[in-house]
Amino acid sequence: MTRRNTTILLLVVLAIVVGLFLFFRVFNEKPTIGILSSTSYTYPDERAGILIALKRLPKGVNFVNVDYSDDNIESAFEGAVKRGIRYFVGLNISSDAKKIEGLLSKTHSILIEDQVTNPQVVEASKNLYTMAQTDNLQAQAIAAYIDHEGYKTITIVKSNSNAAYVNYLSNKIERDLSGVKTEIISISQLSSVQRAPDAFVLVMSAQEAVDSMKELESKFGRIPFVGSDWTFRGGTLMRNIKVSEGMVTIGFVNLNDVSSSFRNKMFDLDLQVTPTAILAHDAVMVAYALAKNRISPKRVYNFLQSHIFIGERGDFSFRGKCVNSPIYFYKVSPLNFKLAWTFGGKK
């Protein structure tokens, strides 16, 4: 063997050794999950659900906060990716998640959202999955509940923000209603309402719902209110019980299935158990399984479809891009959220 060939062989062997060293070094490093959430709107119940999950999980994965404010979700996400993070849990609204659709694919990152429900946002990125049902089923559920209650006139009041969510859901509810006179208005048009319908459907945040109910009740007295899933986020309804008592709002988890240990931990944090807290908790469980097993974006879909997960909601599975679950309607009472009606079920 010539000296030149020997040199080439040594370089090849060295390259292989270095490559194996780097491979095993990277492989042995703990994967990291970024918790992506806004500081502009905070959901303490969901943060608590994540905290409880982190305390329960083994230490095989690192978790870091990736906070963003107002309109900088793109830069916050890109900054996390530059730090090597490829797995994310999101506590976001649909309009925020929509802003990073392209970045998820571009960076080969995986995002498990606790409660993004707009189906167009969920389907736009192969790498985004949600722990909730999408608004296609939520709209059907609300329409079915209105029919169940026998309401003949409905006014849907939507937020001026989170357009991707409120516009799609409001329009879908209207299309799914049959034989019901329906009007869609924005919060800024509340003062124009001259006559109360049989019920108002509130497609908005919890604080907006409380403010809207105050304004409408001062004008029309006690009337039925049906809140979309957004009104459940943050625990605001229970902190404004004088206004929200009797309101019916949507959740994606049966609160009767929640363990006593989870309830006690939420109680210790001075927080009410909500479906959104459970969704956040179980989103961490799913992201942990993906990161721990180093599931690549190409394998995520099949992995999720073929596994049954155990979370605070009990056993659950994915059907497509979302978790397969019924839609639960809860009535707000002074002590808790009382299950009032259920739409759909696991198939």
Higher pLDDT, 177 or 1: 177
pLDDT of residue 22: 38
pLDDT band at 9 (very low <50, low <70, confident <90, very high): low
Query: CA-CA distance, 266 to 272, in Å (whole number)?
Result: 6
pLDDT at 335: 87
CA 333 from chain centre, in angstroms, equals: 24
CA atoms of 185 and 179, how far apart (whole Å): 19
Predicted local distance difference test score (pLDDT) of residue 28: 47
Token match 């397969």: residue?
324
Does position 101 have pLDDT exceeding 50, yes or no? Answer: yes
pLDDT over threshold 60, residue 332: yes
CATH of 28-133+258-325, one of 3.40.50.1820, 3.40.50.2300, 2.60.40.290, 3.10.20.30: 3.40.50.2300
298: buried, middle or exposed (CB in 10 Å: 19+, 13-18, 0-12)? Answer: exposed
- What pLDDT, in 10s, does the model give residues 307-321? 999 999 999 999 999
Residues of the chain with CATH 3.40.50.2300: 28-133+258-325, 136-255+328-343
Give Cβ neighbours of residue 339 (< 8 Å, ≥ 6 apart). Answer: 254, 255, 256, 328, 329, 330
Which residues make beta-bridge pairs with 87? 33, 110
pLDDT of residue 301: 97
Angle subtended by helix axes 275-292 and 260-268, to nearest 10 = 110
pLDDT value, residue 86: 96
Mean pLDDT along residues 214-219:
95
pLDDT at 27 over 50: no
Six token digits for residue 137: 């089923």
Give just the sign of the alpha carbon dihedral 212, 217, 219, 220. Answer: positive
Bridge partners of residue 184, in order along the sequence: 156
pLDDT exceeds 90 at position 197: yes
Q: Is 90 exceeded by the pLDDT of residue 69? A: no
Residue 96 has pLDDT above 70, yes or no: yes
Give the confidence band of 7 by pLDDT, cuts at 50, 70, 90. low
136-255+328-343: CATH homologous superfamily? Response regulator (3.40.50.2300)
Work out whether strand 327-332 and strand 337-343 pair parallel, antiparallel, or are unpaired. Answer: antiparallel
- 344 pLDDT exceeds 60? yes
Alpha-carbon distance of 65 to 75, in angstroms, equals: 14
**Per-residue pLDDT band at 10 (split at 50, 70, 90):** low
Residue 119 confidence (pLDDT): 97
Which position has the higher pLDDT, 30 or 210?
Answer: 210
pLDDT band, very low/low/confident/very high, at 43 (cuts 50, 70, 90):
very high
Q: What is the pLDDT of residue 41?
A: 83
* pLDDT at residue 47, rounded to an integer: 96
- Give the closest residue to 157 by CA, choosing from 240, 227, 222: 227
Return the pLDDT at 3.
Answer: 61
* pLDDT bucket at 4, cuts 50 / 70 / 90: low
SS (H, E, C) 82-100: HCCCCEEEEECCHHHHHHC
Q: What confidence tens digit (pLDDT) does each residue in 115-139 have?
A: 999 999 999 988 999 999 999 999 9
Would you say residue 169 has pLDDT above 70? yes
